Homo-oligomer: A and B are copies of this chain.
Amino acid sequence: MKLTFSPASPFARKVRIAAIETGLIDKIELVPATVAPGTANDAYTRDINPLKKLPVLILDDGDVILDSYVIVEYLDDLAGGGKLIPASGPARWKAKADHSLLQGMLDSMLLCRYEKMVRPQGLQWQAWYDDHWNRAWAGMARFEQREDVLSGPFNVAQIGLVCVLGYADLRFSDCGWRKAYPKLDTFNQKMLERPSVKISVPPPA
């Protein structure tokens, strides 16, 4: 299998962590890819993903699996199921809903990044930036209260949360999340003891 990949992408990091944790990382070739709004990448759009996003998992028969969450589900299933996503019951829906919230937080953080770093300066709209940053920030506030996630079993919600915090460090390094959310800080430090989490920390920008 091949995975389109960038070390700075929190979505790709999520899949990398999942691949390590399910023992499948050695079956996956990481293929570097670069995508950005406003910059064409016709080969990628035509052959791999019309959405011009990564990561995408390309199976040996050529089928493509997206998005990052579905790839995590696929890897979990390949590894027998129930390792990263609880197999059934309320815990399953809680983990899935938590992950969707974290995914939306990452989407908003990426929109903030594009607003400041990709959109031409005179065309930036502060209210858009603030709105999306508030979503990420309010999401962190919610997880600060979620003792069940912070101390619970390792799963896709914990992976998503560590990717949010790592991306905050990479792109919003002065946002002060550690001070505002001390429980997330403790959680993050604990997570960094896992090799999969530690090795996938994005390199400094």
Task: Judge whether B66 and A97 touch: CB under 8 Å.
Answer: yes
Q: Which of B64, B104, B114, B122 contacts A51 (CB 8 A)?
A: B104
A73 to B96, CA, bound (A): 10
Interface size on A, residues (CB 8 A): 47
Beyond A52-B135, A63-B93, A94-B63, whether A119 also contacts B128 by CB under 8 A is: yes
Interface residue ranges of A138-157 to B (CB < 8 Å): 138-139, 141-142
A120 to B103, CA, bound (A): 27
CB contacts (< 8 Å) of A73 on chain B: these are: 96
Cβ-based interface call for A172 (8 A): no
Task: Judge whether A138 and B66 touch: CB under 8 Å.
Answer: no
CB contacts (< 8 Å) of A127 on chain B: these are: 37-38
Task: Judge whether B50 and A63 touch: CB under 8 Å.
Answer: no
Beyond A67-B100, A123-B123, A128-B119, whether A50 also contacts B139 by CB under 8 A is: yes
Q: Which of B45, B114, B125, B138 contacts A45 (CB 8 A)?
A: B138
Beyond A66-B101, A100-B70, A123-B123, whether A50 also contacts B94 by CB under 8 A is: no
CB contacts (< 8 Å) of A29 on chain B: these are: none
CB distance from A126 to the nearest CB of B (A): 10
Can you pick out 19 interface pairs between chain A and chain B where the beta carbons lie within 8 Å of each other? Answer: A37-B127, A37-B132, A45-B134, A45-B135, A46-B138, A50-B105, A50-B135, A50-B139, A51-B108, A52-B135, A65-B97, A66-B101, A67-B100, A70-B93, A114-B128, A119-B125, A122-B123, A123-B123, A123-B124
